[in-house]
Structure 1
Amino acid sequence: MTAERSTVLVVDDQAPNVRLLEAILTPRGYDVRTAASGEEALRAIETEAIDLVLLDIVMPGIDGYEVCRRIREQVDTAYLPVVMVTASGDEQKVKALEAGADDFLTKPVNQSELLARVASLARIKRYQDTIKRQAGELAAWNQELESRVETQVSQLQRMGRLRRFLAPQLAELIVDSGDESFLTSHRREIVVVFCDLRGFTAFAEASEPEEVMGVLTEYHQALGDLIFRFEGTLERFAGDGLMVFFNDPVRCDDGPLRAIRMSVAMRTRVRGLAEAWGRQGHDLALGIGLAQGYATLGKIGFDGRNDYAAIGSVTNLASRLCADAEPWQILATERVYSAAGGLVVGEDAGYRELRGFSRPVHTFTVRGLDSSRVAS
């Protein structure tokens, strides 16, 4: 605020005194408001943006001392500069300071002294306004920051929940969009991959718990990395058993091929781990089953602990194929194998009688991928 924009309220019941002060201040660029009584002055201060008050002491109704005290009692005007205009003596000056006046002038008013005191207090008022504005901006900024932090914490919590079964890039996309409608129950065709370790039960019975946990940690980390890379949806880890599916919640046209490519990569990765486990005396191998079919998918659980699950015979079929697979064998249904196309190298594994299924299931063994036709 500049001097030209400073608003001075002149309070005096004597019109000649008001005109004199107005004549001195107006040419200097001050915007002068006037009040003929203490009550009128308080109303003006309440309704207008006043920067400084020139306040006479002796007035009808409430005097200048009382006006000053009331100004100081209000939070919004507690620091409003007030100059008391006294008629005489030190006694009035002391009472003016006791009432809360910032300064005082003695009648008859000296023009130079008046301008100097008004300019000084107007400058202090500008500093006060700046501090008040900055404090308001800081409070607003803090509030906005708190809101952002709260939002970010909420997003991180949602991200943490989604990352339990989605690839990180997909979880981030869903958090950014704010759309969790995919969590509601729905029906869709999916490709299910089920895998577990052959010989794990015997290994767990003969080993210390710390050894078992160490093997599982390496196993889960290796396969978890591949699940995220191929953007599969992880339903669960259950000891050495693991289930992943494709084409939900994000659709993918190449679900069968992607599932097979991930399975081949899993087998390669776990073979490397198994060599190290073998040197420690642990005989472990991987078996994988793949099936395609319709399932009902959605969020299951309770407040504070939810999972995203697929319910249907296709998940049982993948599990049964995994159980029927030989060590290091990837066993897929005819539907998955055929849908993956000519990129897959494998052979007919015949019809399998699987527990829980009334008809034999035509299966194929996946040997690998045609390296000349598919990118690594």
Structure 2
Amino acid sequence: MNQPPVILIADDNPANLEILGARLAASGYRILTAADGEQTLAAAREHAPDLLLLDVMMPRLDGLEVCRRLKADPALPFLPVILVTARGDAQDVVAGLDAGADEYLTKPVDHSALVARVRSMLRIKALHDTVQEQAARLEAQARQLEAWNQQLERRVAEQLAQLERVGRLRRFLSPQLAELVLSAGEERLLESHRREITAVFCDLRGFTAFAETAEPEEVLGLLREYHGAVGEVVFAFGGTLERFVGDGILVFFNDPVPVSDPALRAVRMAVAMRERVQQLLEAWRRRGHALGFGVGIAEGFATLGAVGAAWRMDYTAIGTVTNLASRLCDEAAPGQILVSQRVFADVEEAVDAEPLGPLALKGFSRPVPAYNVRALRGETTRG
């Protein structure tokens, strides 16, 4: 609503315009005038007055038609209309109200009645505008809330997708490495590619015989202890856990994120594994289970990448290097860590190792040189 309120007076009689205008201007209102129906419509659309005093009998368009057109125009704001006319029959009053008028005054107009009705209509106009403003604010807030809800839904969806990616990565990467891959936006590192890696294969000696005679619950309980202990060591050294297969575990280094000294990391991890598993072996022996632990480590190129279905993906390494690590593990006696020639060349200065001579390994046409890592330099020699 305008301040001060704007009143449009429409009458084809100049004297009436002057009298009504003077009376209302004295009350502090701003006055606009129109002399016929067309002028009234034009003024109402241009100036958006707060109240219209409308004569019924006017040239070009009568007051009733003007009232109908104004009330039917959705582009116009709410405009109270007071019909001011000499026609005071009940039928005329009904016709005016049916045309959309809000009040009806007969000429000659009583000044106090005029001012009272004007105040009344302006109060209604103010209340209506307030309601409209509140409705507009509520609608804007609803739109904003809807936008926030959509934004929240997108964020939740993104976070769920992120959690799914983290969960998928943490199946074979350490938590730190999984976060690194995701934070760097480098999930493409999990696509198929070729890279030089150091592969570590380890398993339990005597596990098959144990599993044949033990109860299934006892076998599962032992594997949980073993996997939990070895898994902690793998992640502590930043290794990529390819898979648990019964008592067999395949880990590799230098992929999907390259690392410095992958061979040395692998050997240090294997030594830490041996020490951790030795504690388990002693506890298992007290329960009557004679088991041992062996490790094989090899270095070479492999093809790596995520494999599986959309609902279950694994990250794997395929190549001779993983087969060699597995065969060296097969040859390892309890407590031994057997490494290939290439691995030994990379870690020679850091380990106490003994040559075992070329080994005839299944799947390899020629004997393979191997070394048994007894300890890291500066540590007590083992086996």
The two structures have a TM-score, normalised by structure 1, of 0.77
Shift of 1:118: 3.2
Distance across 1 between alignment mates of 2:259 and 2:329: 23
Q: Which residue of 1 aligns with 2:59?
A: none
Distance across 2 between alignment mates of 1:287 and 1:11: 100
Q: Which residue of 2 aligns with 1:220?
A: 227
Shift of 1:171: 1.8
User: Is 1:185 aligned to 2:192, yes or no?
Assistant: yes
Shift of 1:83: 3.4
- Where 2:290 maps in the other structure, the secondary structure is coil
Counterparts of 1:198-213 in structure 2, within 5 Å, are 198-213=205-220
* Residue of structure 2 aligned with 1:279, choices 278, 281, 286: 286
Counterpart code for 1:137: Q
Distance across 2 between alignment mates of 1:319 and 1:100: 93
Distance across 1 between alignment mates of 2:366 and 2:281: 35
Q: Which residue of 2 aligns with 1:158?
A: 165
Counterpart code for 2:80: V
For these two proteins, the number of residue pairs brought into alignment is 350
Distance across 1 between alignment mates of 2:348 and 2:99: 94
Distance across 1 between alignment mates of 2:97 and 2:170: 68
Counterpart code for 1:321: L
Residues 335 and 121 (structure 1), Cα distance of their counterparts in 2 relative to 1, 3 Å cut? same
- Where 1:351 maps in the other structure, the secondary structure is coil
Q: Which residue of 1 aligns with 2:155?
A: 148
Q: Which residue of 2 aligns with 1:333?
A: 340
Distance across 2 between alignment mates of 1:246 and 1:155: 24
Residues 258 and 85 (structure 1), Cα distance of their counterparts in 2 relative to 1, 3 Å cut? farther
Give CA deviations for 1:63-104 in whole Å, capped at 9, x if unaligned. Answer: 646865775xx9xx9xx7563535589999999999999xx4
Distance across 2 between alignment mates of 1:207 and 1:93: 104
Shift of 1:198: 0.8
CA contact (8 A) 1:65 1:95 kept: no
* Residue of structure 2 aligned with 1:313, choices 315, 320, 323: 320
From the CA coordinates, give the structure whose radius of gyration is larger: 2
Shift of 1:278: 1.7
Distance across 2 between alignment mates of 1:314 and 1:195: 14
Residues 155 and 10 (structure 1), Cα distance of their counterparts in 2 relative to 1, 3 Å cut? farther
Stretches of structure 2 that go unaligned for 5 or more consecutive residues are: 57-61, 106-113
Q: Percent identity?
A: 45
Q: Which residue of 2 aligns with 1:342?
A: 349
Residues 66 and 205 (structure 1), Cα distance of their counterparts in 2 relative to 1, 3 Å cut? farther
Q: CA-atom RMSD, angstroms?
A: 4.1
Q: Which residue of 2 aligns with 1:133?
A: 140
User: Is 1:261 aligned to 2:258, yes or no?
Assistant: no
Give CA deviations for 1:222-270 in whole Å, capped at 9, x if unaligned. Answer: 1112222211111111111110111111001210111011111111111
User: Is 1:118 aligned to 2:125, yes or no?
Assistant: yes
Give CA deviations for 1:26-51 in whole Å, capped at 9, x if unaligned. Answer: x77x9x9x9967x969x969xx9x8x
Residues 119 and 326 (structure 1), Cα distance of their counterparts in 2 relative to 1, 3 Å cut? same
Distance across 1 between alignment mates of 2:181 and 2:80: 63
Q: Which residue of 2 aligns with 1:172?
A: 179
Give CA deviations for 1:6-40 in whole Å, capped at 9, x if unaligned. Answer: 899988865859x959x86xx77x9x9x9967x96
- Where 1:196 maps in the other structure, the secondary structure is strand
- Where 2:357 maps in the other structure, the secondary structure is strand
Q: Which residue of 1 aligns with 2:253?
A: 246
Distance across 2 between alignment mates of 1:67 and 1:256: 88
- Where 2:297 maps in the other structure, the secondary structure is strand
Distance across 1 between alignment mates of 2:304 and 2:79: 73
The two structures have a TM-score, normalised by structure 2, of 0.76
Q: Which residue of 2 aligns with 1:85?
A: 82
- Where 1:336 maps in the other structure, the secondary structure is helix
Stretches of structure 1 that go unaligned for 5 or more consecutive residues are: none
Give CA deviations for 1:308-340 in whole Å, capped at 9, x if unaligned. Answer: 211111110000000000011111112112212
Residues 121 and 225 (structure 1), Cα distance of their counterparts in 2 relative to 1, 3 Å cut? same
CA contact (8 A) 1:12 1:36 kept: no
Q: Which residue of 1 aligns with 2:296?
A: 289
Residues 62 and 287 (structure 1), Cα distance of their counterparts in 2 relative to 1, 3 Å cut? farther
Residues 181 and 10 (structure 1), Cα distance of their counterparts in 2 relative to 1, 3 Å cut? farther
Shift of 1:207: 1.0
Distance across 1 between alignment mates of 2:273 and 2:153: 44
